[in-house]
Amino acid sequence: MTNYWLMKSEPHVYSFDDLVKDGSTHWDGVRNYQARNFMRDKMRIGDIVLYYHSNTKPPHIAGISKICKESYPDITQFDQKSKYYDPKATKEAPRWFLIDMEPVTKFDAMVTLDQLKENPALEEMLVIKRGQRLSVQPVDKTHFDEVCKMANIYL
DNA sequence: GCCAACGTTGGC
DNA sequence: GCCAACGTTGGC
């Protein structure tokens, strides 16, 4: 069965348009255990992702992507030159994992964080909660459907 | 650029 | 295993 997720990216680092241009991407650089666990243990091929742009004005969901490769070690953890290098990780016991995703649909009009907050049906959605910093979050299907409705997208 | 809200680290 | 210090995230 399909799971639904929200994943954050800073658009000046890697935007939804970059993903469209590339066709698919390795979601490297996640260094939070909870986010890693979701990617490593829960994400399956075909899972659907709300692609969220953080640290931009206004913060918003830009489109939908999907998981096209299940978890495997993030090689940047072994690369001393990478800012994601982790000296405690070894190839025998990798610490960080990632997935690959590919674009599905770009929203014609972005769905902003303010719009999400204004929608009573999304009251319980994690991303609108204060202090919620997790960059990989599970999303209820009902919330996912509501966001699609707001974006006039019908998959 | 500020700073609240976290998550991680390391001394004890 | 506690918790202070530190680092990061991300909205504002």
Query: pTM (2 decimals)?
Result: 0.94
Which residues of A spanning 78-97 put their CB closer than 7 angstroms to strand C?
none
Q: Which nucleotide is nearest to A133 (CA to C1')?
A: C9
Task: Give the model's confidence band at A1: pLDDT under 50 very low, under 70 low, under 90 confident, else very high.
Answer: confident
Domain CATH for A112 = 3.10.590.10
Residue among A58, A129, A56, A118 nearest A147 (CA): A118
**Confidence band, pLDDT 50/70/90 cuts, at residue A153:** confident
Tell me whether residue A66 is in a domain: yes
Q: In chain A, what percentage of residues exceed pLDDT 70?
A: 100
Cα–Cα distance measured from residue A106 to residue A153, given in angstroms and rounded to the nearest whole number: 9
| Bridge partners, residue A111, by sequence | A61
Is A17 part of a structural domain of the chain?
yes
DSSP conformation letters of chain A? ---EEEEEE-TTTS-HHHHHHHS-EE-TT---HHHHHIIIII--TT-EEEEEE-SSSS-EEEEEEEEEEEEEE-GGGG-TTSTT--TT--SSS---EEEEEEEEEEEEEEEEHHHHHH-GGGTT-GGGSTT---SEEE--HHHHHHHHHHTT---
| pLDDT tens per residue, range A38-68 | 999 999 999 999 999 999 999 999 999 999 9
Confirm whether any atom of chain C, the nucleic acid strand, is less than 7 Å from CB of A3: no
Structural domain total, chain A: 1
Confidence of residue A89 (pLDDT cuts 50, 70, 90): confident
A128 touches strand C (CB under 7 A): no
* Structural domain containing residue A64: 4-150
Report the pLDDT value the prediction gives residue A130, as an integer from 0 to 100. Answer: 85
Residue A155 within a domain: no
pLDDT of residue A38: 95
Q: Does the pLDDT of residue A87 top 90, yes or no?
A: no
Q: Which nucleotide C1' is nearest A36 CA?
A: B7
On whether residue A117 sits in a domain, the answer given is yes
> Is pLDDT above 80 for A128?
yes
pLDDT at residue A155 tops 80: no
Is pLDDT above 80 for A17?
A: yes
Residues A108 and A154: beta-carbon distance below 8 Å: no
Confidence (pLDDT) at A34: 93
Picking from A64, A84, A60, A57, the residue whose alpha carbon sits closest to that of residue A73 is A84
Taking the CA of residue A34 and the C1' sugar atom of nucleotide C1, their distance in angstroms comes to 21
Distance A116 CA to C10 C1' (A): 16
Residues 37-66 of A with CB under 7 A from strand C: 54-57, 59
Q: Measured at the alpha carbon of residue A17, what is the angle toward residues A95 and A149, in degrees to the nearest 5?
A: 95
